[in-house]
Structure 1
């Protein structure tokens, strides 16, 4: 992508101070929102606006400003306020963020995230694609074995969005069903019950932001941790939401979670479909989502393999060994099912034949 910077200018007509005030928002909040989302600088004097940025983002910002100004036209004599939801929809419909990420990726630019504790780089092509999809999609699924960076990279993307002021808070959640345990039967208050389940997320946050800053952000509710059940009835705007261990959600829980996502929010759902701890007979919400949402726009699915495991080399070998065992186990189960079905069919056929023979013998006795 070119590093060229351009300045685009426009006079919004008809000039109207009340409409301009609605466009810019209180304390220029709407203008600042656009600047954060698109990485541009917007200056104005009266109805004259100038936009500074890279050509594609500056042009998109100019078009969005024009469209938003049209939406300030009086309705029954009243000038409507421009709400954050309208800005979010205009940015999404412009496709500018997707275009920017795709251009960078196609030109071979290195994908990375800067945090105050260092630079985080994806180590495999799948991880790089995953990060790009998080930027360009409202909802991103990361599915694969342990050690592939699904959760760590999701937290990194959330921290990056918070530092850039693209979102106002980070919400971390996880279904509290693991190894047969239920939240209500664990000792302690809510935070003590949830903490063990969210420890991997905490560890990533501490590494990227430092312990003290994470504690302060949690105190201010900028970072919120909660079990999945506590999200019911909420709508989450201006948030980056991470659902970890999603293979342990039910279909109803997954649907509930996905419908909580509000304007200017992103969600990342991570899980491993080979590590389901749900009660026998319950279908995983993650498996179901993969089946029913694969064709839905603005949702991306990223499937990681053992090759993406970036922990100790032996972990990748362990994952491979388990995958081979699972394939063989499935084959053996299928063979057993086929053998049982064949035996059942043979028994049923023998019963039918015996019944027919018995009926024939009875008929012969009667005829005598």
Structure 2
């Protein structure tokens, strides 16, 4: 028996990079080869899932199980209810998690994995449709499936051609292809995606609107049109948002006066005594509505190099103010 515990391998950076490049190249080739094997079985698998009234139950053993777990998670987050069941546990009670209204997606590179094939008689008796994903179309699992997805590879990226590498990459990519095809067929939207991702920055970018974050009421900076510039400067200082709305007599937004406008005013005028806000404001000024996604507000601010926006209703009445700091605090950026 060889003892490698005291042996420190020689580090050769060039050889390590070459190994990584070879591995990535083999796995890329494995994915490329799948394209030619997409046939009616893929379309039939999609049809079965789209017609399913229950959930997609994914199963697989070992490395295939890890890939299956990820595929189930991707399906569930893109509009196809799905979960993973370990095939060994299924034979010891967890099969009760599967109902006749569900559909089973079973992964096995060989198509002969004992823990998976042992479920075949039970699934047939239950009447749950079966989709197999294997590297051998003539295997037991593939032959007994209602639809077969070919995920075979010429060789593993492992130099011993033993460790599941190219084959698991191919199965993972094929699972993504299945999830995306189903997503598009269902007309799944960004808003639908956000509903299953409410936490973290992703959910915030997709769910939060300007109305959720804007300052309203007494926190809305505003001065009447025609007021002295001094009043506008005091309002900007009091509210601390870097700008104020300038409101016309009919209640609509006539313009805005910002920190940037103040710098331009300092360049142009020596004496502010007789200036009105109308003389120096930006009119009509950028504005958005409260139902706009907060992520869209970020884009508008970045494109126009500004840090705040007036929020108006459909009749152009100011109803709120949004500052870049609010977006940062909420995690939208």
TM-score, normalization by structure 1: 0.24
TM-score, normalization by structure 2: 0.25
Structure index of larger Rg: 2
> Larger relative CO (CA 8 A, sep 6+): 1 or 2?
1
